[in-house]
Structure 1
Amino acid sequence: MLVAIVGRPNVGKSTLFNRLTGQRQSIVEDTPGVTRDRVYGEIEWNGRVIPLVDTGGYVPHSSERFEAAIREQVEIALDDADVILLVGDAETGVTDIEQEMADRLRATDTPVLMVANKADNQERRWAASEFYELGLGEVYPVSATNGIGTGEVLDALVEALPAPPEETPHDRTRIALIGTPNVGKSSLVNALLGFDRSIVTEVSGTTREAVHSVVQYGDREIELVDTAGLRKRAKIKENVEFYAALRTERAIRTGDVSVLIIDATVGLRNQDIRVLKQAEQHKNGLVLAVNKWDLVEKDTKTAQRYTDYFHQILQTMTYVPIVFVSAVTKQRVYKMMDTALDVADERAKRIPTSDLNDVLQAAVEENHPPTYRNAYVQIKYMTQVRTNPPVFAFFCNHPKGIRDSYKRYLERKIREAFGFQGVPITLAFKQK
């Protein structure tokens, strides 16, 4: 499920995105074309959680390079969206660009909501009726800056979305192979599926999904998600990375464990780090798989040097296990899967409260929390309140007095005592 915001530059798409998601993730500036990349967020409305993507400004037929790239992003979003929010400017009215976009949108089966932004007074709300001439149905005048009319848009949006699929209980572990293009994600999947592992079901994804394969692996059923399973499209000439990013974002949302594939001959790039942190924010289990290991000249210490290099860059994510693999030689591809399953098991682990408090007591005696407003911070006890992903609640007299450095200290003590390799854990501090 995905909702895409599209429109020409400087109509307030990013302001609307920030309003609907309740955050300030998109850059807002009174300059056309500031939003050059997609930005992802979530809408929560009437019990639904809806992924939302903000695109760059749509500028048809521009020869300027970044505007051509923006057009491609918009085309990608249009192809992937379940509902499209076409944003216009109630102050300037309908332009040739909106006419062209409306022609493009009327040719699709995807529901389109026409949003006339900047309708922050009665005169502009009346002027918004001009957008009816685009033939896209109801027009929703809004002011993204102050929130006027956004409730009506959200109601219409929820109504236009397909019904959420019924969750059927199953014992499958969902493992998503994520990463930048051309690092060997599909080759690793093929290496796994091409052996004597039994393929139970294989369903080719639609244009809106990655490719899913359900595999019997030992005594466990695994759902592999290959985010590289993309159909080539002639109109996507540049920015294939944006297309892959959309698949990656969806795979992360639905997965239990994300295996980030990187190219051993290239190393860890900024884009890889962003993807890994995105998976961490979604509380996926995490594994780092270094592919094309067969192309690296090695001695007995090469793997350790690579590991030290990764840990130096990732620092706060040294809990992520690293596996060196080769899709070509099939080296350690099964170890990669075994590691991912171990991480899934760690993610589902529950620790007895008595064991947790033994560790807490020892940690506090070794390093007491700093004072808060000249008062001692006392952590009374802790307990695990959920699994998949694990969340630990700490009860204390001054929750605001627990600084980030002390939270990291407690997390380290939990990991030293109980493992949780590859698993992001959440520490919540409550008043007692």
Structure 2
Amino acid sequence: MVSEQPRLRIAIVGRPNVGKSTLFNRLVGKKLALVDDTPGVTRDRREGEGRLGELHFTVFDTAGFEDVIDDSMEGRMRRQTERAVQDADVVLFLFDARAGVTPLDLAFARVLRKIDRPLVLCANKAEGKEGQIGAAGAWELGLGDCIHLSAEHGEGMIDLFDSIVEQLEARGIDPFPDDDGAGEDEAEEAFDPDADVPEDPGKPLRIAVVGRPNVGKSSLINRLLGEDRLITGPEAGLTRDSISVVWDWQGREVKLFDTAGLRKKARVESKLEKLSAGDTIRAVKFAEVVILLIDAVQGIDRQDLVIADRAIYEGRALIVGFNKWDAVEDHNAALVALKEKLDIHLPQVRGLPVVTLSARTGRGLDKLMPAALDAYRKWNRRVPTAKLNRWLATAIERHPAPAVSGRRLRPRYMTQVKARPPTFALFMNRPGELPESYVRYLMNGLRETFDMEGTPVRINLRKNENPYTDD
């Protein structure tokens, strides 16, 4: 249920590596944001549903502030942070108490003093004698009283709660409006993506955009949203963690996940890139539909197939988007070649839906969401047992199961045990001896007959329950 009043919005800001993502994870109650000692891990604004005592709110984790205003990566990150501040009701300004107040902290404080927003100054990492000494220099920032925190250890959370409430009440803002949306984060955490639920469960449709680095994933999402919500640029690997953005498409709520580009495993060396890759895999597991974005100019790479295979393994609905289509010369020949390669290398999902598009110009984007919804519909497909077994009898009559060691294998009965993806149980004698080629024959027949082209289909082989029907 959606709250009638907008939920309170809190932005966490500060220079790089002061603990913003650690505090974000503390407030949302789970490790959503990547945390590493490397400065600048967070580059895009990440949103989560936070809670502090009786206070429920949406919290923004932001990129570390840099004192530049050009079109460099740091300048683009700064603009994203400033936009988050403008969108927030309360700003939490963190500085590192162990390092003390730095020139960059002072530069950011000058910016924040010009913005009319309730602000709470926080000295993070203030545990211990060194932190206490560093926090004492907060007066240099000219932002009023400072609270002492340890986001890592959870210290100072009561003081943070009191300060936020005090700032809101001083502005005449009710910190505790009636919020029917409270607890949605717990409900989302408990949601099982493999559970058997109706096609439209009333939750946002979760779509993850995945692919190799620099294929245009963030640009695609920005084009769909109609705003520069995610940082983009020519640098490969700009996105480091999975960022979710809620979007309304023709009255349907959609949660889009932008993910870090996945390189070949042998090339992933740094701890941070391993964390980013793990975060992308988690986004795939949590998604319902996965859009594999491929650079149409470069063509299909082995890594694209590895990513597709991972989405299929996780049982997600999958569609392929060929981006940069405006730069392809012979469209017809290129599309035929690309589709043939997909069918050859991904026979387990033959007939994958394909959309040609350009995130730069917007060409073809009108076909993307209809394709995603169609894939989602097929992913939720349910086949009545009677119809399923009539089909099975016809399939066996057309192509009988082989004999093994002179004894005929006899598939007898099939039922669908779940959807998302469509999963079937096939009861037969000696299930361990049925060749994989025959299982593929049945899978392809199911897809073709029951409109599940391009959908992962699973068949679980089970032994007849009646011991007297083995032969």
TM range (shorter): 0.5 to 0.7
Displacement after TM superposition at 1:218 (Å) = 1.6
Displacement after TM superposition at 1:345 (Å) = 0.9
Matches within 5 A, 1:294-309: 294-309=326-341
1:216 maps to 2:260: no
**Gaps in structure 1 of 5+ consecutive residues:** 1-49, 52-72, 81-105, 112-162, 231-235
Matches of 1:268 and 1:422, distance apart in 2 = 17
Partner of 2:215, secondary structure, is coil
Aligned with residue 324 of structure 1, among 356, 361, 366:
356
Residue 381 (structure 2) aligns with: 349
Aligned with residue 423 of structure 2, among 388, 391, 399:
391
Residues 371 and 401 in structure 1, CA contact (< 8 A), matched pair in contact too: no
Displacement after TM superposition at 1:203 (Å) = 11
Deviation sequence 1:284-307 (CA, Å, 0-9, x none): 111111100111102544322322
Displacement after TM superposition at 1:225 (Å) = 0.6
Matches of 1:370 and 1:75, distance apart in 2 = 59
Matches of 1:277 and 1:191, distance apart in 2 = 27
Residue 371 (structure 2) aligns with: 339
Matches within 5 A, 1:20-169: 166-167=189-190
Displacement after TM superposition at 1:241 (Å) = 5.7
1:271 maps to 2:303: yes
Residue 290 (structure 1) aligns with: 322
Residue 454 (structure 2) aligns with: 422
Residues 348 and 456 in structure 2, CA contact (< 8 A), matched pair in contact too: no
Partner of 1:329, secondary structure, is coil
Residue 11 (structure 1) aligns with: none
Matches of 1:411 and 1:221, distance apart in 2 = 32
Aligned partner letter, 2:389: N
1:189 maps to 2:212: no
Larger radius of gyration: 2
Residues 396 and 430 in structure 1, CA contact (< 8 A), matched pair in contact too: yes
User: 1:411/1:327 Cα in 2 relative to 1: closer, same or farther (>3 Å)?
Assistant: same
Aligned residue pairs, count: 272
Partner of 1:266, secondary structure, is coil
Aligned partner letter, 1:404: E
Aligned partner letter, 2:220: L
Partner of 2:403, secondary structure, is coil
Aligned partner letter, 2:406: N
Matches of 2:293 and 2:230, distance apart in 1 = 22
Residue 284 (structure 2) aligns with: 252
User: 1:176/1:402 Cα in 2 relative to 1: closer, same or farther (>3 Å)?
Assistant: same
Deviation sequence 1:365-423 (CA, Å, 0-9, x none): 11111123432111111111101121101111221121100000000110110121332
Partner of 2:452, secondary structure, is coil
Deviation sequence 1:301-353 (CA, Å, 0-9, x none): 43223222332333433232111111011111121221111111111110111
Residue 435 (structure 2) aligns with: 403
Residue 18 (structure 1) aligns with: none
Matches of 1:316 and 1:388, distance apart in 2 = 16
Residues 349 and 455 in structure 2, CA contact (< 8 A), matched pair in contact too: no
Displacement after TM superposition at 1:244 (Å) = 4.3
Matches of 1:264 and 1:310, distance apart in 2 = 13
Residue 24 (structure 1) aligns with: none
Residue 361 (structure 1) aligns with: 393
Displacement after TM superposition at 1:219 (Å) = 3.6
Residue 22 (structure 2) aligns with: none
Matches of 1:416 and 1:423, distance apart in 2 = 11
Residues 191 and 330 in structure 1, CA contact (< 8 A), matched pair in contact too: yes
% of aligned pairs identical?
34
Residues 180 and 241 in structure 1, CA contact (< 8 A), matched pair in contact too: no
Matches of 1:317 and 1:349, distance apart in 2 = 15
Residues 260 and 277 in structure 2, CA contact (< 8 A), matched pair in contact too: no
Residues 204 and 253 in structure 2, CA contact (< 8 A), matched pair in contact too: yes
Matches of 1:352 and 1:307, distance apart in 2 = 32
Aligned partner letter, 1:406: Y
C-alpha RMSD over aligned residues: 3.6
Residue 342 (structure 2) aligns with: 310
Residues 349 and 453 in structure 2, CA contact (< 8 A), matched pair in contact too: no
Aligned partner letter, 1:266: Q
Matches of 2:289 and 2:250, distance apart in 1 = 18
